A and B are shown apart, each in its own frame.
Chain A
Amino acid sequence: MGDWLKQIILLVLIATFLDMLLPSNAMEKYVKLVMGLLILMAILSPIFKLLSENLDLTELAFFDGSKAVVAATEMKSLADINEQTSQLKKKQDQMIQQKTEQSMEMWMKKNIPDRFAMEVVSADVVAQFTTENPHIEKIHLVVKEKTTGSSAKQQINPVQEVSILPSNEPTHKEPTSNETGQKIQNFIQQTWNLTAEQVEVQLE
């Protein structure tokens, strides 16, 4: 806007100046006419710009309305977005669950050999994270005695199964191997603050 005004003012000034410079004669009329046209063009130049951009005036008039329409279309797909959100959340929960299980298994595999001179054959953690109250459902642990341990420990029967299931009666398990298993179970229980029913230690 300022540029436009400046342009017009300068053009008028220049035209006046050159009018003075003109040889005073028959040419004057024509030169004045052309200068007037030029100034007119300078005044109209914003309109030229408007036309050259092919601006649709109706679009300008209903600008706010068109915006509202866009918002409505967005609202329409909001349900889809919500669905996608819940799906993504579920996926995320599942990933957290997997990660937790994996890290717990890794921890057990690392720590139990250090404390009990046993080897972890397999560790299986079942956790529940998709519900509102995330918790560990069950830990299933299979351990065996370290083969590289002392000879005294090797004398113990290698295949002794201890299954501490909450439903199972603890009496039917063999008492000899039960001791270590119990220790491990207690350890795990203390570590993650679990009940006895949730931890299952199996001795191989």
Chain B
Amino acid sequence: MEILQVVGLGLITTILILVVKEQKPIFAFLLATFVGITIFLSLAGKIADVIRILENLATQAHVNNLFLETILKIIGIAYIAEFGAQVTRDAGQGSIASKIELAGKVLIMVMAIPIITVIIETIVSILPA
């Protein structure tokens, strides 16, 4: 039961952070970051399994590789941006957190731009001039 391990780790860390925060808030912050990363890393293996299965399915169905790659990149960007924003927000830097989120959004939209371009071009060329 991995969920028990994760919850237990979270509870212990919360208590430890409460203890440390009294004296040294910086250590509390580092501890929170560390535990967050640990939990995520413990789940990364499972996410990777799911994604590999989807990838296999997609290759069997001859799905265009471009689609899958783009989707996975977008998910990766979302994860990283989310993580960074949360950590910075925990540290009390809400403005930096929102900047990180903005960067994530912009990068995702940049990734979507080629797709949008192709679709719009197609629609324009289908429509009678």
Q: Chain A interface (Cβ within 8 Å of chain B)?
A: 3, 6-7, 9-11, 13-15, 17-18, 21-23, 25-28, 30-31, 33-35, 37-38, 40-42, 44-45, 47-48, 51
Contact = CB atoms under 8 A, between A and B. Distances in A.
Interface string B54-67: 10011001111001
Contacts of A42: 63-64, 67
Interface residues on B, range: 35 or more
B119 A41 contact: yes
Contacts of B127: none
A5 to B, nearest CB: 9
Contact of A41 (B57, B104, B118, B125): B118
Contacts of A51: 122, 125-126
B78 A31 contact: yes
B50 interface: yes
Given A7-B63, A30-B105, A51-B125, A40 B119 contact: yes
B70 interface: yes
B64 A25 contact: no
Contacts, number: 100
Contacts of B81: 27
12 contacts: A3-B61, A6-B62, A15-B71, A23-B83, A25-B82, A25-B85, A27-B81, A30-B74, A34-B112, A37-B112, A40-B119, A51-B126
Interface string B74-113: 1100110111010000000000000001001100110110
Interface of B: 47, 50, 54, 57-58, 61-64, 67-68, 70-72, 74-75, 78-79, 81-83, 85, 101, 104-105, 108-109, 111-112, 115-116, 118-119, 122, 125-126
Nearest to B104: A27
Binding site of B, secondary structure by majority: helix, strand, loop or mixed?
helix
Contacts of A40: 119
Given A3-B61, A17-B50, A21-B50, A37 B105 contact: no
B28 to A, nearest CB: 23
Majority secondary structure of chain A interface residues (helix, strand, loop or mixed) = helix
A21 B47 contact: yes
Contacts of A35: 71, 74
Given A10-B61, A21-B50, A51-B125, A34 B67 contact: no
A27 B68 CA distance: 18
Given A14-B54, A21-B47, A30-B105, A38 B71 contact: yes
